[in-house]
Structure 1
């Protein structure tokens, strides 16, 4: 059975609920519009759903042509407005690099501060704010193996917030793709290191409730493995972009040395 793309996942604001488009354009800097915004606290530290449960109850939409950002909680529109950049800043991304951007003026500060119960500000990233590398991949078979090892009927792959989920092949086949070319759609990627998982994966992707000890279960059968961010619970792989292009649901994914 060939590898095929099963799901694509992006979000305009880092940490909020995922969107699942039928296709995405992937450039050397990642998917345009993905994680184009993020939140920082009063010290300038990057915020995510790891320590902010309420973010996973929100979804966002961004119309780049109109520069209009909207945030919803279920069917309730909380705020919508044209993005107006304020003071510039540099945001540290896990100590690996910095992301230049600007605070977003308007009512975003009050909205997110009230929701999270602490002062935070919304930042418009001027370069893609992906975590480590511009693409990530995980196999459906790997997610199914985690479920099997955990004695569960299934695990929601959205927990892992990966750009590309593919089906076909054996569990954790992607672990062996480091340095290999990954052709999918009109895009060519190159496999990178393993993705070190954080406690965000323990949260339900809709409610934000901690309901599955993913890290403990991953380490339980895979041990601690080396990743670009150090040893830990590894699940899925990073990738860089060799040739920019488009990836769509149903595309065949092929591996070459």
Structure 2
């Protein structure tokens, strides 16, 4: 098995960045989900409510975030601490820095609604769900865990089901599932057997505490923002475990280091 792809998502729910290498930090991959958009009342916005977020293409520059949109050009936002507001990210409330009026206005124009941009200036502020983690585990602004792993053979299995049962939405790309790391060379659904074990990618070791329960974001075309019905209908038929539609495996780093496309992937324990 080897690492086939790496991706980060600088702004939660916006477009991805693809990498040949990435630095693993204890809270996730460097640069992953350090920024968050909220509505005017400070409520977190994701593609669940706003699929147009797919059209915002962030790039990380030296000490800054560059936001790009086809109709609005680009805006550079300094990655600096600012005034802190408490923002609820699922079950946790975390203090985030206001990015400033210019970013708020730019994004509000793009999304045609009043929004705010926030920055997680200190990525050690947010703990991982203690039910599945150690007390000192931390996560950025990802849904719940520092990294998400997916398996190309499992995607091929989903696409086989789609070809038979819903050819109108076949095939689906891996980008629908928004993973950080993609494993190649493993059998389909091998990751089910990795739950509770340790996985080494290159020289970095991770724990696998929980499978990933998928939501409506997987039905959203990550290039256009168009929304369909798959893969949730197919996952509901074939991968429904205790009312969770499973695809992918959450990871928590045990240490730091660099991972590269092509690195060997080994299941330990």
Q: TM-score, normalised by structure 1?
A: 0.90
**Residue 169 (1) aligns with residue 186 (2):** yes
Structure 1, gaps ≥5 residues long = none
**Residue 196 (1) aligns with residue 213 (2):** yes
Q: How does 1:24-173 map to 2 (within 5 A)?
A: 24-63=22-61, 65=62, 67-74=63-70, 77-95=73-91, 97-126=92-121, 127=123, 128-151=140-163, 152=167, 154-173=171-190
User: Deviation at 1:159?
Assistant: 0.7
For residue 175 of structure 1, give the secondary structure of its aligned residue in structure 2. Answer: helix
For residue 210 of structure 1, give the secondary structure of its aligned residue in structure 2. Answer: coil
CA RMSD of aligned residues (A): 1.7
> 1:249 is matched with which residue?
261
User: Deviation at 1:102?
Assistant: 0.9
For residue 153 of structure 2, give the secondary structure of its aligned residue in structure 1. Answer: helix
Q: TM-score, normalised by structure 2?
A: 0.86
Q: Distance in 1 between matches of 2:77 and 2:25?
A: 27
Structure 2, gaps ≥5 residues long = 124-139
Q: Distance in 2 between matches of 1:244 and 1:82?
A: 26
> 2:200 is matched with which residue?
183
Tell whether the 8 Å contact from 1:99 to 1:129 is kept in structure 2 after alignment. Answer: no
Structure 1 runs of 4+ off > 4 angstroms? none
